[in-house]
Chain A
Amino acid sequence: MNYTSQKSLTYNPSLTRNIGNKALTIISALFAIISVLPLILVISYVLIKGGSYINFDTLILEPEPPGDDLLSAGGIGPAITGTFIMAAIASIISIPVGVGGGIYLAEYSKSGKFAKFIRFGSNVLAGVPSIIAGVFIYAIIVSTKILFGSMFSGIAGGISLSILMLPTIIKTTDEALKLVPNDMRRAAFGVGASKFTMITNITLPAAFSSISTGVLLALARAAGETAPLIFTALFSRYYITSFDDLFYEMGSLSVLIYNFALEPYEAQNQLAWAASFILVIVLLTLNILSRWIGTLGTFSKNKV
């Protein structure tokens, strides 16, 4: 029998299926361009417009109250320190708890009912809107004045940010530890290590780079959050000068942007752009850093 077809085997661009294919490829390329466009636009506006308002004074001075001085709005110094302090408070709370929780999930109870419930719970917690975290902290810390009688405070702001960091850190620790091969655990037990020694000396160091990736990503997310801060830390125009100031209102870059963007004064709006320049630079650096660290680890996701 003769199976050779009379049709040509060369590519025929006028076939319906080839035209359809081309059209769909072009459409998907268009979609990809549209998806990348916002990033380019936002970043270039923030860098160009924000960067043009950056100078030494803007970085150091305290912001002026809106409307006082139409030409200058002062600077964003206290907001920068405030963001760092609250991010630090959030990290001090959420890193130990998150890494500990992750250790429990990965090392002690791999598929127990309780572990399943905790994994489910941390996924749900990750989905809780950030403003709800603010409302929650307002209800239990700010309105009850539980922190030595202070109401709005940097500490309350830091605690509300830690709620947002917790699920990410637990999840990445859990996943990072699961990537460490069981052979290493058996080897450690084989030479007589206790479980505590095994975890602290073998598995945690092996998973360190993946865990720090997660921690940095969580930190980057928390540092840019506004919603939980607007009624926990509120805003302050002044630098903190003593430890006691942690128990009072504290400014942050994100709340400064929110407050000053909606002011009718040009000078304040410019300060908002300057603040978003600093914030975006810090967050992009954290993100790129976390990607780089993620590629370093022995058992990181990208390598296995």
Chain B
Amino acid sequence: MSFIKTLIKFIISIGLFFLYLFYILPSSLFKKSHRSRQNFIFEKRPGGSYFFERNLSYSKRDLEGM
């Protein structure tokens, strides 16, 4: 069982290596303006706010998905 686990991990690692090379790295280089990346860049907003608006009243549906 542990051999199968190790084998799966190894296969995933190879896949992840290529994912990193062909997706993560290019995304990092060419998508500097990507919305999710703005969170990481230090830009002060004098007089502004760093909060994200949600305005969501939680309902049954919000507890369902993972």
Co-assembled chains A and B: no
Q: Which residues of B contact A (CB under 8 A)?
A: none
